Chain A
Amino acid sequence: MNTLAQTALTIVMFGSLFSVLTLSLNLQYARGGMINFGTVAYFAAGAYAYAIVTQEPPHGLDQYLVGLDAPWWAGFIAAGIAAMAFAILTGWPTLRLRGEYLALTTFAFAEMLSSLLVNERRIGNGTVGLANVERPDANILGLSENIVYAGAAFLLMLATAYAFSRLLASPYGRAIDAVRDDEVAAQAIGKDIARLRFQVFVLSSIPIGFAGALYAMITTLVNPNLFSAEVTFFVWIALVLGGERTILGAVVGTMALVGFQEAIRAIPFESVRAAEIAASAEDIVTGILFIVILRWQPFAAFARRRQPA
């Protein structure tokens, strides 16, 4: 396979994978009015749950305590459950907080999880992480691994998009919109605001957990460095880039951002210093893009949100 096709495949793979996160965030923020600045934590919870459930029991230099050696589908289900459990744990005390306070507390929870993963070696070997994560054998289908996993990511994205669009088109979805647009009015016609917000928060974190499991399969490695706040920012940038409130926008935004990053990575570098400068240039360009898009609003979506979110 030539390099161009290879790059395109990588973009589809990671683009679809992170689109799942963007879609969930879209549901939480654009529909539910909740600013979740700790997205990466649910992603990490899924990835670690998958790795712990499927890996072999510890031996040699391993410091982790639990390895269940279960099949991959068990790990995949466990990932969804772990993300959901973490959402229940973090959502229950924090969702009564509003706007910025919620943003900061979710951010704080994500940092706490990451600090726990670094320091508590019995979970996943601390900073070393868990290598050689088990994954289903792709050869059964007679295709190369990359194609299979890109396909899996794409399917997960489609499933998430379908589930969310059905959810939002239902009367339940209109209740969510009502709560966001006018809490008092929604309450007056008998909607339980706190419960609706909590449900949206927990439901939307499940696909993030699945995406985490898939990410662990693709990279065959989980360690705390992979799950830094950068992932959260990345997903937020993708959401802003695509314009909020639409499922297609979230997916297109994520694909564009992943494509942009892969394009920069594809440039060969002569020296370490040049690579370093390119990495900084990537940050600078992403940041400027971010500022420019928010300022001139090509999607005009933010302007419609009058109330402080």
Chain B
Amino acid sequence: MNLLAQYALTGVVTGCFLILATIGFSLTRQVEGFLNIAHAEMLGVSAFITWGLNAAAGWPFIPAAVVAIVATAFVGLFIGRVVYDPIRKLGPAVVLISSVGVALVIAGIMHAIIGTGIRTLDVPLATTYKFFGLRITNYQMIVVALAALTGISLALFLNRTKTGLAIRAMSTNPELAASRGIDVRQTSRATWLLSSGLAGLAGVMLALIATLSTDIAFHQILQILAVAILAGLGSLYSVIAAGLIVGIAMDVSVFWIPAGYRPLIAFAVVIIALLVRPEGLSMKRSS
């Protein structure tokens, strides 16, 4: 029983990471209207900038992480402006396939610069704490705290600020938003910065809790897709529920079946959910 609870707790941590990784992806889907396969590569970009500054150049962790997140946000903005903006009018399928091209380019560049092999950050080893017989490391707690903080601040941002409201308006009905005087281009830029910045944050967390290799991003996109489909492509809040469901399902499944099946579990949950609710948890129809 205790072991099961331990797996569930690890699942919560995995879930929180998935929330961080998926929110940016879902935001792009809503505002820009396509599935950005390259989103996971942005996690990799951020993780390796952090690694480069921290382990290779000897910076302390926090400034390295901040620089990595900001840099990733601008890389995302740059890619959005140069690659995706001109082809948006061609429909979501074309943009989706283009984003595979972008993912290939980013992965190739990272591979060329960094090479194969496993990397770790230059940070103190994780300290383990015990609560009621359950173990959790300090880094895992940071992931959970940051996921909660991100969720709350994002909700405040989208509901209280002018840019946030503009983003929500754009995601609901771009034409109407434009005709009501919302600056579509500026809102789109803000979205790119925000979603890539969130990918950057998730990437830093990834660097903190996992060992890094250049193919790490590809494994993340599978789980991000799973969470995003489960959440339904129409809502941000359901991402939180979906992330936790997928994270806990994956980690608890290890209790009964071999760990190699973890990714399979993620998709099994998704496929079952889709058969019951073809539009995802949010029940909103995607446009």
Contacts and interface: CB of A to CB of B under 8 A. Distances in A.
A118 interface: yes
Interface string A248-286: 000000000000000000000000010011011111101
Nearest to B218: A229
B115 A96 contact: no
B176 interface: no
Contact of A108 (B86, B101, B226): B226
Given A294-B94, A295-B87, A305-B91, A280 B108 contact: yes
B266 to A, nearest CB: 8
A118 B261 CA distance: 9
Nearest to B270: A108
Interface stretch (A9-17, A60-68, A97-105): A97-105
A295 B268 CA distance: 35
Nearest to B226: A108
A16 B92 CA distance: 30
B278 A104 contact: no
Contact of A104 (B100, B108, B225, B258): B225
A280 B104 CA distance: 9
Given A101-B229, A302-B94, A108 B271 contact: yes
B108 A303 contact: no
B104 A112 contact: no
B214 to A, nearest CB: 9
A294 B98 contact: yes
B104 A284 contact: yes
A277 B263 contact: no
Contacts of B90: 294, 297, 302-303
A154 interface: no
B167 interface: no
A93 interface: yes
Contact of A101 (B106, B116, B218, B274): B274
Interface in A84-120: 93-94, 96-97, 99-101, 103-105, 107-109, 111-112, 115-116, 118-119
B261 A115 contact: yes
A291 B105 contact: yes
Contacts of A100: 35, 92, 96, 233, 286
Given A115-B263, A309-B93, A291 B111 contact: no
Interface of A: 35, 93-94, 96-97, 99-101, 103-105, 107-109, 111-112, 115-116, 118-119, 229, 233, 236-237, 240, 273, 276-277, 279-284, 286-291, 294-295, 297, 302-303, 305-309
Interface of B: 35, 83, 86-87, 90-94, 96-98, 100-109, 111-112, 115-116, 218, 222, 225-226, 228-229, 233, 258, 260-261, 263-264, 267-268, 270-271, 274-275, 278, 286
